[in-house]
Amino acid sequence: MTLERLDPADPVALERFERAFHAAFSRAKGNRLARRLWHWDDAAGRTRPHIPYADQHVYVRWQDDGAVDTAGAVNWRLADYQAARLGFPPPPPDLSGHCEILALFSQRDADLVGLRTFLVEVAGTLLAHGFQSADATSTDRLLPVYQHIGGRPLERRSLDGEHRTLLRFPLQEVAQLQALT
């Protein structure tokens, strides 16, 4: 499987991504704050970030049958900062080469090795586009995983009884992580 950038003008690919996105996060029943972050169309079984696709790069690894294996969406323009929906301040305007990870998921449960490998590859691609760092938010359950991949906690918030941590990933360090054996 190779990493590809999703063409949001391709309605078939976009639908597959949004359906996989919905399936991945609708399984997390206790993750109520996810409803604040993204646009949910439960009737159609689709989910997408509120950030316009024109301001995103969506990366996908496709299975041989055309289904999404692993995917991630990156806010590269930062005109709208998704983490602000959870109360986190946007990065300082003088922070150049910065982006925000909007979503990261695998269709396989507990696929930590696959997510790590995917994020390492995406980090390399983002570096090639001139980005140096990326912010993301995390649940408490996934925080140790993201810290293991190189995320550095910046702030923590509690909203409606749920906790979220804002992390910053130095992309050069993430891109240089070795494969797990």
Per-domain residue ranges of the chain: 3-175
| pLDDT for res 102 | 97
Give the separation between CA 84 and CA 146, rounded to whole angstroms: 20
Contact between 106 and 118 under an 8 Å Cβ cutoff? The reply is: yes
Nearest of 81, 77, 102 to residue 90 by alpha carbon: 81
How far is Cα of residue 32 from the mean position of the Cα atoms in its chain?
17
Q: Which fold has domain 3-175?
A: Aminopeptidase (3.40.630)
Q: Where are the alpha helices (DSSP H) in the chain?
A: 11-26, 34-37, 112-128, 143-148, 171-175
Return the amino acid letter for 165: T
SS3 5: strand
- Write out the DSSP string of 64-114: TTS-EEEEEEEE-S-SS-GGGGGTPPPPPTT--SEEEEEEEEESSTT-HHH
Contact between 145 and 111 under an 8 Å Cβ cutoff? The reply is: no
Q: pLDDT for 51-107, tens place per residue?
A: 999 999 999 999 999 999 999 999 999 999 999 999 999 999 889 999 999 999 998
Please tell me which residue, 148 or 181, carries the higher pLDDT value. Answer: 148
Q: What is the mean pLDDT of residues 39-47?
A: 95
